[in-house]
Amino acid sequence: MILARLQAAYRDYLLSGNSAAVAPAIVADAFDASERLGIHRNNFLISLRAALKANFPVTLRLVGNGFFEQAAYRFALAHPPQRPCLFEYGAAFPDYLQALPELAAVPYVADVARFEFARVAACHAPAEEYVSADSLAGLEPERLDAVPVRLARHARVVAVTAPVLELWKAHRKPEADLTAIDMAPRSHALLVCRPEHSLLAREIDTAAALFLAAAGAGSSLGLAAAQCHAQGDAALGRVIRLALELRLLANPGTP
């Protein structure tokens, strides 16, 4: 079998468990082909399960090890990684969890997972050139449209309805005490960012969320600022100050 076809047959087997196409290429002796191939399928699924556990530690605690492992196993088969950096693996896991009927009664789980993935992404984001206060000094307000910006890679805005920060904080202790947490749904936005080496996570107001969403969509400073104006005159100054302090804006011209 030519190598490309053999590797495609492995792929079909690893994702489906059906070894019919690849088994004839494997020497059968004391073990048959499916027993030998099973070692590799096991490695594939167990290692991805471990990667998801590492990226979603509080989600794991919320649903319990048994359920997490089953969900991670099914997720790995449905959404295997496309790239070898496993700290980037699991972007689709929160939506996958949200769609599971077993979790319909605990919608906060998917929100916590969204937050955890944002944390991992922020932790590993590469450094880049940020828009600084100096670069904006002396800029006339009408020239803001000419300043292109994008959201820095270390910054993520996560829209949630569950009390994610409280849940996450409670689960940093060995015994999580949830009794004082108000679980009533409330739409809000969380900013997760790593301006230097320390990760920050905080709730942001609507003006900041709109501004950062516009920046995230690859906007100009003027267009992003326009999103803020509807939230009141004081909002823009406050949001720009936050964005500069936390290095949330990057120059789109840099890689």
What is the distance between the alpha carbons of residues 52 and 75, in angstroms, rounded to a whole number? 10
What are 141's strand-pairing partners?
Answer: none
137 binds another protein (CB under 8 A): no
152 binds another protein (CB under 8 A): no
CB of 73 to another protein, least distance (A): 14
Distance, C-alpha 209 to centroid of its chain: 17
Which residue's CB is nearer to another protein, number 115 or number 211? Answer: 115
Q: Is 251 exposed, middle or buried (0-12, 13-18, 19+ CB in 10 A)?
A: middle
What is the distance between the alpha carbons of residues 75 and 9, in angstroms, rounded to a whole number? 21
- Which x/- pattern, by CB under 8 A, does the window 181-220 give for another protein? -------------x--x-----------------------
172 binds another protein (CB under 8 A): no
Tokens of 209: 């969320």
CB of 138 to another protein, least distance (A): 31
Only one of the segments 23-31, 130-138, 185-193, 215-223 lies at the binding site for another protein (rule: CB under 8 A); that segment is 23-31
Q: For 201-212, give one letter per residue: b (16+ CB within 10 A) or e.
A: beebbebbbbbb
In the list 36, 61, 169, 238, the residue contacting another protein (rule: CB under 8 A) is 36
Which residue's CB is nearer to another protein, number 101 or number 174? Answer: 174
Q: Position of tokens 């994610």?
A: 164
Q: Is 70 exposed, middle or buried (0-12, 13-18, 19+ CB in 10 A)?
A: middle
Give DSSP secondary structure letters for 68-86.
Answer: HHHHHHHHHHHS--SSS-G
51 binds another protein (CB under 8 A): yes
CB of 72 to another protein, least distance (A): 13
Q: Scanning residues 53 to 112, which ones bind another protein (CB under 8 A)?
A: 80-88
Q: Are strands 249-250 and 188-193 parallel, antiparallel or unpaired?
A: unpaired
Nearest residue to 80 via CA among 71, 94, 90, 95: 90
3-class DSSP assignment, residue 90:
coil
254 binds another protein (CB under 8 A): no
Only one of the segments 46-54, 67-75, 97-105, 221-229 lies at the binding site for another protein (rule: CB under 8 A); that segment is 46-54
Task: Point out which residues bind another protein (CB under 8 A).
Answer: 1-4, 6-8, 10-11, 14-15, 24-27, 30-31, 33, 35-37, 39-40, 43-44, 47-48, 51, 80-88, 122-127, 154, 194, 197
